[in-house]
A and B are shown apart, each in its own frame.
Chain A
Amino acid sequence: MSAIENVSRRRFLTGGIIAAGALVLGVRYYRKLSSGDKLPHDTNADHATLHPSVYLGIDPDSTVWIVASRSEMGTTSRTTLPLVVADELDADWKRVKIEQALGDSRYGNQNTDGSHSIRSFYDAMREAGATARFMLIQAAAKEWGVPATECETDLHVVVHRSTNRSAGYGELATAAAKLPVPKREELKLKPKSAWRYVGKGQVSYDLEALVTGKAIYGTDARVDGMVYASVEHPPVLGGKVKSYDDKEALKVAGVRQTVPIDPFQQAPAFQPLGGIAVIADNTWAAFQGRKKLNISWDNGPNETYNSDAYKNELRATSHNPCKVVRNIGDADAVFAKGGKVYEADYYVPLLAHASMELMVALAEFKNAKATLWAPTQNPQAVQDIVSKELGISKEDVICHVTLLGGGFGRKSKPDYVAEAAVLSQKVGRPVKVVWTREDDIKFDYYNAVASMYMKAALGADGKPTAWLQRSVFPPIPSIF
C-alpha cells in the first residue's frame, strides 16, 4: 500500500491538483465514450478543486468524485472501495460520483484478478478519505480561528460544536486545497464505532443501470463510424494462414473487407492469435461473412497435440514416484501391511472460463493513439500489449474499462483487446471485435489440466491410516 500512497503523493507534489475551474460533468464516466478535449488520462477527480489523492476529488458544489481503479465484474468492488473512502471522509453517499479509472500505473496494480481488491486496497481507500477529511477540518479550523482538535466532521460537513458552527465540504474545498497534504502519520482513522457505511450493507452503485439495461458493458460500447469484426482464428494454436479466398465472404451484404492478422511470435503471451478478420457494418454480417471464408491453414508445431494422449502421459507419470514435497510418517510401511487399500485416478480437464459476456473490445486508432473500450480485468496489460503490437508508447494507449459481464481471470488476458487495436490500425476506423461463444470456448486461456493419483489405507475403524497423493500438471508459465 505504501507504493500506491507514494505514487499519489508524487502526483500531488508535481502539480496538476488544483485546476482553475473545476470540471463538473453530470455523467457517469464509463458512459462518456469520447476522450473529448481533456487530457485522456484525467478524471473529474483530477480536475476537482480539492484533490489530495488520485482516488478522490471534491468540488465546490459538494460533489465528491471517487475513482474506482479496479474492474467491476459482479463483486461490487467498484462500489465497495469508494464506499470505504466515503466512510472515512464522512461523505454523503448521495453526493458521491464514482468514476471508472482508465488504465494508468499511477493507480498501482489494476489487475483485478485473484480476489484481493478489498484486501489490497482497503487501507489506501481509508487513507484517501482520511486525508481529505483532515484537510477539510484544518481549513474550517483556520477560518473559524479555533484549534483543529476542537473540530470534527458530520455528514458532509465540518462542525465546531461549542460555537455551533458548521461548514459543508463544498464550501471548504477551495480553502482546503491550499493546505499541505498531511503525512500518513498525521492521519487519524475513524474508530469502527463511527463507521457509517462499512459493514452496514449497501447495494451496487450501478444497480439501477443493471436492471434497466442502461449499464455499459464492453459489448455495449459504441463510437461514431465504428465497424464490426469477427475473426477466424487458426484452428490449432500457433497455426498460420497459408492462403485464403474471401470472394464469397465479400458477397455477404454488409461485409466491407477482410483483413489478415499476423500470427503470434513464440508463446502467445496475450498477442492476437492471428487469422482472418471479416469487417462488416454489423455483427451478424461479420459472422456470416466469416462462414464464407475459404482458408488453407498451416497448423504449425501443435498440429499433433492430442489431449487424450497428453492426459495418458500425465496419468502414467502420476503412477511413478515424483518429487516429494511433503512426507510425514511412513505411508509405504502402512500400505505394505495390506488391509483395506484404495487407489484412484482423478483428472481435471482443460476448462474454459465461459463468462456470460463474450470477449469483445472496441478500438479506435487515430493520430498515433489507440483508444480502447473493453471489459478488461487488467487495463495496464492492455496498454502493454497494444503498445507493443502497434509500435506506440504505452502512454498513447488509452484504455477505458467498461463493466464486465463476468471475468473469472479470462479477461485479465488482453489478447482480444489487442486484436481490436490491430484491426483498427489496419482498417483506419474504429473496430469492435466480437467473439462468438464457440470462439470463447475454443480460444480461451484454459484452466490447465491436472492428473492426480491417490492411494489410501483404512484402519479397522474406517479412518485413514496412510495417504499418498501425487499431482502432475503443466506449470502455469507454460501457457505464456
Chain B
Amino acid sequence: MIQLKVNGVEQSFGSEPEMPLLWYLRDVLGLTGSKFGCGVGLCGACTVHVNGQATRSCVTTMSNVAGKEVATIESLEKNGLHPVQKAWMEINVPQCGYCQVGQIMQAVALLNGKKKPTDREIDEAMSGNICRCGTYQRIRAAIKAAAGEMA
C-alpha cells in the first residue's frame, strides 16, 4: 500500500506501483487539471509539485511518490487565485490553454525558489514546457509580473 498526500489530503493506493502519478491523479482521483501530452517527460503538460519540486507526473511512478506530498493545479487557489494565475490572466497568456496548467505549476515552483529570476533563469526553468500555440513571450512576461507581486 502506497501512502501519499495529494493537495493536503492523505491517500493510499494499493494497485500498480509502476503506474505513473499522472494517471493516478487523472483517472483514479479525477483531478484532470494536469494534462497528458507525451508520456515521456518531454512536453511538461503534466507538471505537478512533489515535495515542492516541479515534477513530470507522466514519468513519475506511484512508488516514487510514496510518503511524499503532491500538489496539483487544483490546490493552487487559496483565498482566491494564486499570484501566478492572476498574472496569467492579467497578461492574457493562454491560447488553447492545454499546456498552461503545466506552465503555471513550473512557474510557481520557479518563483517559490527564486523571488526575482532573470530572463535567463526563466528560460532555463521553463525550457521543458512546450506550448504549441507559441505563448512563450507572454509566459515570460507573466512570470515577471507575478515575481513583482510575490516579492
Contact = CB atoms under 8 A, between A and B. Distances in A.
Interface stretch (A159-167, A236-244, A400-408, A469-477): A400-408
Contact of B132 (A203, A253, A254, A355): A355
A interface residue count range (under 10 / 10 to 19 / 20 to 34 / 35 or more): 35 or more
A442 B44 CA distance: 21
A357 B20 contact: no
Nearest to A75: B95
A213 interface: yes
B135 to A, nearest CB: 9
Nearest to B45: A356
Contacts of B106: none
A283 B94 contact: no
A358 B100 CA distance: 15
Interface in A247-271: 253-254
B100 to A, nearest CB: 6
Given A212-B77, A212-B85, A405-B35, A282 B72 contact: no
Contacts of B38: 437
Given A254-B15, A283-B27, A284-B20, A212 B33 contact: yes
Interface stretch (A9-17, A105-113, A135-143, A216-224): A216-224
Contacts of A284: 16, 19-20, 23, 27
Nearest to A210: B97
B interface residue count range (under 10 / 10 to 19 / 20 to 34 / 35 or more): 35 or more
Interface string B95-108: 11111110010000
B98 A217 contact: yes
A128 to B, nearest CB: 26
A356 B30 contact: no
B2 to A, nearest CB: 14
Nearest to A435: B36
A253 B18 CA distance: 11
Contacts of B100: 210-211
Interface string B42-71: 010100000000000000000000000000
A437 B58 CA distance: 12
A218 to B, nearest CB: 10
Contacts of B93: 211
A287 B35 CA distance: 16
B125 interface: no
A356 B33 CA distance: 14
Contact of B26 (A74, A283, A403): A283
Interface in A55-112: 73-76
Interface of B: 15-16, 19-20, 23, 26-28, 30, 32-40, 43, 45, 72-74, 76-77, 81, 85, 88-89, 92-101, 104, 130-133
Interface of A: 73-76, 203-204, 206-208, 210-217, 219-220, 222, 228, 253-254, 281-285, 287, 354-358, 403-406, 434, 436-437
- Shortest beta-carbon contacts, A-B, top 3: A213-B33, A405-B98, A74-B96
13 contacts: A75-B95, A210-B100, A212-B77, A212-B81, A216-B32, A219-B35, A282-B28, A284-B16, A356-B35, A356-B99, A358-B36, A405-B96, A434-B36
